[in-house]
Structure 1
Amino acid sequence: MAQITAALVKDLREKTGAGMMDAKKALVENDGNVEAAIDWLRAKGLSKAAKKADRVAADGLVAAVVSADKKTGVLVELNAETDFVARNEGFQKSLVGFAEAALATDGTSEALLAAPAVEGEGTISDQITRLIATIGENITLRRVEKLESPEGVVTNYIHGAAADGLGRIGVLVALKGDASADELAEAGRKVAMHIAATSPAAATTDELDPELVAREKQVLTEQARESGKPDNVIEKMIVGRLQKFYKEVVLVEQQFVMNPDETVAQFLASQKAELVGFKRVTLGEGIEKEESDFAAEVAAATKG
């Protein structure tokens, strides 16, 4: 039996909004497994924030760049310790250079770090080391995402822009179809804005992570059983609720934010466009950053 610590209970409460005793019971019932405990709380209707995203706990910027022929796009996330660095001209200029260099790589962070430096000698990894020495903060090239559309176009979109092509959320959308390149690019930009707002889990139902679907089905099953209805009714309830789930997390099934009367799939069809794929990167997604009490730090410092 796993030890249920106060820190573990606190973490679960922050992620779900559940009460202390409910959080502790959920962890006990699931042998300390936080993800299983979240599902348990959802099934019992005790989670007040089941869909709460991971806390964004890293600063820096995301760059979004598309090649001149609009056939290739990349997203590059460069993290730093504070948001002050994100406003640093040297940091921003370096990130744009890294993103442009990433267009010629295989789309992995390892390949980009090994690529020739944009400024100075050595590799981009060496350039980041020099940047750290100049700025005085730890800087990490965390992620690279690449998207190609040989038969169509790739469009980029930045949300929360700090500068041209730099911001907190970066999206790439690849489309092909009978429309002109400019028309596809315009349609792609609108879909990219939708993706920035809704953060779909996959482009189509078939592309959903099977583990995600299995987890959701299990939660829905437990919720349905709580109703006390017979098994044949429960089966129908699960089918209906899964369809609702797909409409929430699958891009082409979602209601289009610019026109909720149609789905994304219907919008694309009206534009004579077909979705090739998409990429979305949120700054600091999934990174936990230690939170500090600023007033306590100042008080400690004054005591010398």
Structure 2
Amino acid sequence: MAEVTAAMVKDLREKTGAGMMDCKTALNETQGDIEAAIDYLRKKGLSKAAKKSGRVAAEGLVSVAVKGNTGVVVEVNSETDFVARNDDFQALVHGITAVTLDKGVAADVEAVKGAHYPGGGTVADAIANAIATIGENMTLRRVRGLHVPHGVVGQYIHGAVVEGLGKIGVIVALESTGDTDELSILARQIAMHVAATSPIALDSSSIDPAVVEREKSVLADKHQGKPANVIEKIVESGLKTYYKEVCLVDQVSIHADHAGKTIGQAVKDSEGKVGAPVKITGFVRYALGEGIEKQETDFAAEVASMSKA
């Protein structure tokens, strides 16, 4: 058997764009034959997947799942919304979500990608195989989990394509020793509220200090020239208004049965039905593709340019 050198691995990697370990495996399997190794990677779909990896994947699906007192949110991206409606892609997202749920709050993207995927191989292998089969770039973009020792994790999917998969996914953790049925109703209501209002933090103490300082600066700059003590009061008042807009517990509930009450007040009021104190310990909201710079395509111009070729 020919010795597989680092130079050979580097050469194969440059020719195919496949991962280093995949290249090493391919060379070992083909006794160091570069051309045979290229074919090996193509058959496995790894070379094909690598060629697509540079394309922007901003569509796809957000998934939520809850088991016991643990819930997770997962975002898997594809290039087009069409693929998001593909049964194989949906099965892939469900599979990745199941793996993430097993890992719970310890889940992160790299840990999930390296974990065993149902049916064999790793999650990363399953994604590569799906890229080769379906023909679009796909990425596991982000994962997050919440857990409470006592209580519930509520979930909500907005724009659902199928059960548990959609455009916006939210989980909300409520800690309480009270009635779980009542807690579940409340948790879902809050999750729906989060989907609609997109708070940036649970409360004012949870906001990144840099964000607060930036907001203070904006408020102060609007009133330059006024006495310092006046500006200080304006900034203080402005921050209170800001917190009502972006902090979950300070936002006014969107639900009619909590009309005019903040989420914090609604939670406090629910304690009678629940039969015990209730505390929101966290929430996660993923909106599909948020923060990804999408490529804008002028389809008519693209067709016109192709006709001139």
Give the TM-score normalised by structure 1: 0.78
- Secondary structure at the aligned position of 1:122 is classed as coil
Aligned to 2:237: 240
State whether residues 151 and 177 of structure 2, in contact with CA within 8 Å, keep that contact through their aligned partners in structure 1: no
In the alignment, residue 235 of structure 2 is paired with which amino acid? Answer: I
The 5-angstrom pairing of residues 106-125 of structure 1 reads: 106-119=106-119, 121-125=120-124
The 5-angstrom pairing of residues 38-117 of structure 1 reads: 58-67=58-67, 69=68, 71-105=69-103, 106-117=106-117
Aligned to 1:23: none
- Give the CA deviation at 1:93: 1.1
- Give the CA deviation at 1:276: 1.3
Q: Any gaps of 5 or more consecutive residues in structure 2?
A: 1-56, 272-277
Q: Distance in 2 between matches of 1:183 and 1:274?
A: 14
Higher relative contact order (CA 8 A, sep 6+): 1
Q: Percent identity?
A: 49
- Secondary structure at the aligned position of 1:255 is classed as coil
Aligned to 1:296: 301
Q: Distance in 2 between matches of 1:233 and 1:211?
A: 23
Q: Distance in 1 between matches of 2:226 and 2:307?
A: 64
The one-character-per-residue Cα deviations of 1:249-292 (angstroms, maximum 9, x if unpaired) are 11001111114410000000111121111111111110102212
Is the radius of gyration larger for structure 1 or structure 2?
A: 2
Q: Distance in 1 between matches of 2:145 and 2:229?
A: 46
Q: Distance in 1 between matches of 2:229 and 2:100?
A: 53
- Give the CA deviation at 1:178: 4.7
- Give the CA deviation at 1:78: 0.3
Aligned to 1:287: 292
Aligned to 1:50: none
Q: Distance in 1 between matches of 2:129 and 2:89?
A: 11
Residue among 252, 257, 264 paired with 1:255: 252
Q: Distance in 2 between matches of 1:220 and 1:118?
A: 53
Aligned to 1:206: 205
Aligned to 1:151: 150
Choose between structure 1 and 2: higher helix proportion. 2
Aligned to 1:223: 222
The one-character-per-residue Cα deviations of 1:53-83 (angstroms, maximum 9, x if unpaired) are xxxx81000000001x2x0001110000000
- Secondary structure at the aligned position of 1:261 is classed as coil
Aligned to 1:135: 134
State whether residues 179 and 271 of structure 1, in contact with CA within 8 Å, keep that contact through their aligned partners in structure 2: no
Q: Distance in 1 between matches of 2:111 and 2:226?
A: 55
Q: Distance in 2 between matches of 1:207 and 1:109?
A: 24
- Secondary structure at the aligned position of 2:102 is classed as coil
- Secondary structure at the aligned position of 1:158 is classed as strand
State whether residues 151 and 178 of structure 2, in contact with CA within 8 Å, keep that contact through their aligned partners in structure 1: no
Q: Distance in 1 between matches of 2:80 and 2:189?
A: 31
Q: Distance in 1 between matches of 2:129 and 2:249?
A: 44
- Secondary structure at the aligned position of 1:75 is classed as strand
In the alignment, residue 66 of structure 1 is paired with which amino acid? Answer: V
In the alignment, residue 223 of structure 1 is paired with which amino acid? Answer: K
